[in-house]
Amino acid sequence: MSGQLSQGELAAALRVIMRFGVLMLRAGAASFRTQEVMDRCAKALQIDQLESYVTPTGIIASAYSGDEHRTQIMAVKQFGVDLNRLTRLELLSRSLALGVSPMVVHGELDEIEKQGRIYPDWVTIGMVGLACAAFSSIVGGGVMEAIAAFFGAALAQMLRMKLIHLRVSPVPLTVICAAVATGISYGICNALTPIVPLVGLPLTPRLSIVASVLLLVPGVPLVTATIDVTRLDLVSGLARLAYALLLLVSIAIGMLLILVWTGLRIV
C-alpha cells in the first residue's frame, strides 16, 4: 500500500492493529506498552496517524490516512499473564517491514495465538510447588512446612489450570484455589504432626499455609497498575489496581473459609 489508503485498506489495517492490542492486553501487558506496539504496527502499515485509548477491558482507536479515517472499538473479555506471548508480540511489532500487508500480520498473529504453553503442565505444577516451598523457608519455615506448602500449592495449581481451561471467572477461581491450597497444606501439617517428636523438627502450620497461596498473588497486575499510574494513565492504573485488590480479597476469603472451619489462627 502506498499513498492514501482506501476505506477498505484503512479498515483492514486498523482491524489488525486492534487485534494486536487485544492480544497484548490478554497476555497482561501494561496500557502504555500496548499503545507502543499498536503505534509500531500502524507505522508499518503506512497509517498516517493512530489515536488510541487503551484500558484493561477495551480499546478505542482511530486511524487516519489522508482524508480518510476509521474508528473501531474492541472489548477485552479474557485476562491472564503470558510473558512468552508478550515477548513474541513485542518482537513481531519491531520486525514488521514498512508496507507490510494486514493479511501477513494476521498470519503472524495466528501463529502466536496457536502456540501452546512452552512447558508441559507437570513442569509448571512442580515449579509452582517448589517456589511456594522455597517461600515457606524464606518466611521462617523448615522442611515440614516446605513439604506441606509444596503439595498445597502444586495441587492448587493443578486445579487452577483446570478451571482456567473451563473459563471460570478469576474471582471464584481464586477463592476455590486459595481454599484448596490452605486445606491441603493444613491437612498435611496435621498428618506430619505425630512424627515431629521423632525427627526433632519444628512445625508451624501457618507458615506453610501462607506460602501455599503465593501462586495466587496477582504480581503482574500490581506491577502494571503501578506503571500505568506513574505514567498518569489513571483510568487504566486504577482499574488494574482494583482488579488486583479484588483477587487479593478473594485469596483471603478462600483462606478464611478453611481457617474458620479448622479453627486455626495464622496471626
For 142-210, give the DSSP string: -HHHHHHHHHHHHHHHHHHHHHHHTT--HHHHHHHHHHHHHHHHHHHHHHHGGGHHHHT----HHHHHH
CA distance 49 to 189: 61
Instruction: Please give the pLDDT value at position 198.
Output: 72
> What is the rounded average pLDDT of the residues 50-64?
93
> What is the rounded average pLDDT of the residues 150-179?
94
265 has pLDDT over 80: no
Backbone φ and ψ for 28, nearest 5 degrees, come out as 100, 15
Closest CA to 244 of 214, 228, 224, 215: 224
pLDDT digits 0-9 by tens, 67-85: 888 999 999 887 788 889 9
Instruction: Please give the pLDDT value at position 78.
Output: 78
Q: What average pLDDT does the structure give for the chain?
A: 90
267 has pLDDT over 70: no
> What is the rounded average pLDDT of the residues 172-188?
95
40 has pLDDT over 70: yes
197 has pLDDT over 90: no
CA distance 235 to 241: 10
Who has greater pLDDT, 130 or 1? 130
Whether 40 contacts 16, CB under 8 Å: no
Instruction: Please give the pLDDT value at position 111.
Output: 93
Element (H, E) at 54: strand 49-55
As a whole-number percent, the residues of the chain with pLDDT over 90 amount to 64
Query: Cα Rg for the chain, rounded, in angstroms?
Result: 23
> What is the rounded average pLDDT of the residues 14-32?
93
CA distance 65 to 48: 5
Amino acid at 164: I
Amino acid at 31: S
Instruction: Please give the pLDDT value at position 60.
Output: 95
> What is the rounded average pLDDT of the residues 175-195?
92
- Cell numbers given for 63: 486511524
> What is the rounded average pLDDT of the residues 49-78?
91
Task: Give the Cβ contact number of residue 67 at 10 Å.
Answer: 6
266 has pLDDT over 70: no
As a whole-number percent, the residues of the chain with pLDDT over 70 amount to 97
Instruction: Please give the pLDDT value at position 1.
Output: 44
